[in-house]
Amino acid sequence: MIELDFAEIRALRIAGRDVAELRRGAVLMWAKPPEFSLASGSGYAGSVYAASQPGGQWFADGVPIFGATAQTWIMADAYEGAAIQYDLALSQQSVEISITSGAGFAGSVYSASRGGGQWYADGLPIPGARGQTYTLAIQYEGAAISYITFTPPRSNVIQMMMPTDLPTALKEGWWDPKRGVQVTAGDAISAVPDGFELRDLVQGTAANQPMRKLVGNVPVISFPVDTGITYFSPTSALRAAYVFAVAQYGTGLESLTGNGATLLGDGTNQRRMRIPAGSAAWQGVSERRNGVPASTAALPMPKALLSAVPFANGDRLALWSLGWGQGNNWSWLGDVYEVLALASEPDDATRLMIEGCLAHRNGLAAQLPADHRYKTLGPRIL
């Protein structure tokens, strides 16, 4: 037993608490630290490690092993060669995480109420993320983000809604150049991967390839000339019954199209979402813009979140292509930031979540109406 004279102590933290939080004359007990040994095996994968006391946490190279809080632990392949430790909690201080900058998507800052821990995504440590704050990288968007400190309990979990969380029956295609594109010489784009892993958008002919362009360090698909034939086709047919797109026409200031512009089409006049030459309105399409109905009005079109039922004179199952106009003409002019194709029109709750997600991910939350459910905060699963 050790009794401390608090008047003589200038700085001390015990179990994560400043001495100012402890009462003068408090009696502090130091217990023998727990021990552990091999219950079976030789220490490699499949070996069973056993601790002398329950109630602790297993560590690998100083980082808590997610979910490893039982008195025994079985070595996994991923931890072979790591320095294994087992420690009891010194206190049961809560730790909370919150989003202190941004809406929870890439570039947002997550903060923990106390330090000394490790950030996790879907239960796996995020390499190098051991500070009290963490700026979310794009590859972890939609993951369950948590924070584990040396002393339990673990933090709450924050998980943002992403298109990948939509019901399988709705998913037709999700193409987002922010998450990566395949480029050729001169920064031309040959393929845009599908975030659903169903069908990529591809263009194998160099003369028909749109360009990769950076807008404020954000990669976008750029269609630079309205009379050119630049477009992407999917690797298989899809049913584009409802489409969300973040796009800009031209410079965003034009009031009429030049030679016409097709955002989506199948190369014929049967299925398309286009603005005819000399027009300022979508042809046969009623759309929503930035979360409110916009009728057929299209131009001028600065960067905006669009959602619409594309025109279809017949079955909607087709090679719906990005920027492919009738007769290999009338490609889109301007930038495309993201496209999401659905097999059917979503219900209102799902539509609002998608609008909130895409608006926040593309810097358009300020354009949503004041009463939009997700204007301030992006939609979450947890």
Amino acid 21: pLDDT? 43
pLDDT, tens digit, 9 for 90 and up, residues 39-60:
998 889 899 999 988 878 888 8
Lowest mean pLDDT, pick from 4-8, 209-213, 340-344: 4-8
- Percentage of the chain beyond pLDDT 90 is 68
Please write the tens of the pLDDT for every residue from 280-314. Answer: 999 999 899 999 999 888 999 999 999 999 999 98
pLDDT of residue 151: 58
pLDDT at position 89: 60
Long-range contacts of 277-283 (CB under 8 A, 24+ apart): 277/330, 280/255, 280/256, 282/308, 283/311
- Give the model's confidence band at 240: pLDDT under 50 very low, under 70 low, under 90 confident, else very high: very high
- Give yes or no for a contact between 100 and 133, defined as CB atoms under 8 angstroms apart: yes
380: tokens are 């979450």
| Alpha helix (H) residue ranges in the chain | 348-361
Higher per-residue pLDDT: 13 or 178: 178
Mean pLDDT value of segment 189-207 = 97
Rounded CA gap, 332 and 126, in Å?
39
pLDDT in tens, 128-153: 999 999 999 999 999 999 998 765 66
**Global pTM value:** 0.77
Return d(Cα 234, Cα 79) in angstroms, integer: 41
164: left (phi over 0), alpha (psi -120 to 50) or beta: alpha
